[in-house]
Amino acid sequence: MHGTELAPIYQNYINGKWVSSETGELYESINPANTSEVLGRFPKSSIDDVRLAIEAAKEAFPGWANTAAPQRGEVIFKLIHLLARDKEELAYTITKEVGKSIREARGEVTKTIQAMKQFSGEATRLAGETLPSYNEEIFAYTIREPLGVVGVIAPYNFPLGIGVWKIAPAIIAGNTVVFKPASTTSLISVKIIELFEEAGVPAGVINMVFGSGSVIGKEFGENKELKAVSFTGSTDVGVALGKAVTQHGGKMQAEMGGKNPAIILEDADLDLAVDSIVTSGFYDNGQRCTGTSRLFVPKSIYREVVDRLVAKAESFIIQDGLNEETTNGPVIDENQLNTYLHYVQTAIDEGATLETGGKRLTDGDLKNGYFVAPTVFSNMRPDMTIAREEIFGPVIGVFEVEDYEEALAMANDIEFGLSSTIYTKDLEKAFHFVRNIQSGVTHVNLPSTYFENHYPFGGKKESSIGPREQGSTALDFWTDLKTVYMKP
């Protein structure tokens, strides 16, 4: 399929039907490994399209909210089977649209299935609490209630995973949803809706509108019918959206930027440490909010660690992600390619030493896509731009430090606080790190990207707003507590 004349046209999903946007305008989703391949054309929705979706969700809310919670959970239980059945098709679509390797795409589907196993049981755990009253004639307890119509904005890097694990707890709690996927991952988002529909979600409970973040996000922020918005993306957008949502009394949840530190100490297993840094910093082209981008290493092992990282980076097989042996495919789009190139040049200009990478790859078929080289910088300083700003690319800056104390201080000297990790066999330092690192997720002897869906996920400082996602806290954001006092 080459050229727009053969690319299918997709529509918004409102009130259980696929409907055209009032604008009649379309945008293209392309394969980042081969930019001449158009995967589909999607509507550039207007504010009125968004309002139609919100109205459909509003009409569906009473019926869904009054459906027994375990019955709502049955939908998610069915979704587990459907995701497993379509695993290869879903992984293929993710790779075609995002560019990530088929290995990474299969991993995303697997993680999504694991999340649904967790969430399907949450429907029977929508628990309040019963506490004794001071008055022996009063029976008092709390119950959880849904919020109403809610908005979900998903990013491109885990378009299946994040989209589904926001929508699932929202509807388990009894809310109805308007979903805005990333424009670059519109095709996999159609699959998400088709799966929820097949799993038995009634019309109007989940609605989806395609289009510009500036149009749809603005309406999400300002429309008082939306009682909550859950967003994953950049800190700038998340903070601005959060101000708009909370200004009219809505709830906001945002998972945003990261500039995640890793510390390797002299006693660490270097093979394990370097392999883990490669996993968290280079795989998936560093397009993970929890990816390692700052590495702190004592002088005595600094050069060895840098050399090992360079060797690993240069061993990557970079090509179309559909090839089974591919280590990395392309970055998502031209904008992300240019962001990567901008930060590389800025780092060089500010005095960092480029050890390897730092360029677009254009040999052979690579010239047709947005392929880049895994990049290692040494001679880093904390005041450098690439030490402070999120790149969302396969770039690791290595800092030489005197000792653990200096490494910890530098690791915390940042506006972000999402994920972190330390590599050491020293239990005392490991526990000190866990207590003192300023991040919402942390690790010892594991990649900073490691996570399991049945644990809460979120960050500190400018990395998160609102309650944690997933795990035991998954329903906190999507419900209100009502306290009940009863006297016979």
Who's near 95: CB < 8 A, 6+ residues apart? 101, 102, 105, 321, 322, 329
The residue from 122, 219, 289, 400 that is catalytic is 289
Q: How many residues does the chain have?
A: 488
For this structure, is 37 an active site residue? no
Alpha helical stretches, state H, 173-212:
186-198
Return the half-sphere exposure (C-beta side, CA atoms, 13 A cut-off) of residue 55: 6
For this structure, is 255 an active site residue? yes
- Say if CB 69 and CB 144 are below 8 A apart: no
Helical packing angle, 69-85 and 102-122, nearest 10°: 160
Cα 312 to chain centroid, rounded: 26
Alpha helical stretches, state H, 156-227:
159-172, 186-198, 213-222
Identify the CA nearest to 456 among candidates 465, 448, 467. 467
Cβ atoms < 10 Å from Cβ of 32: 30
The residue from 108, 255, 355, 462 that is catalytic is 255
Q: What are phi and psi of 209, to 5 degrees?
A: -125, 130
DSSP string, 96-125: HHH---HHHHHHHHHHHHHHHHHHHHHGGG
User: What is the rounded radius of gyration, in angstroms, for the C-alpha atoms of the chain?
Assistant: 23
Identify the CA nearest to 288 among candidates 380, 370, 394, 373. 394
Active-site positions read 255, 289
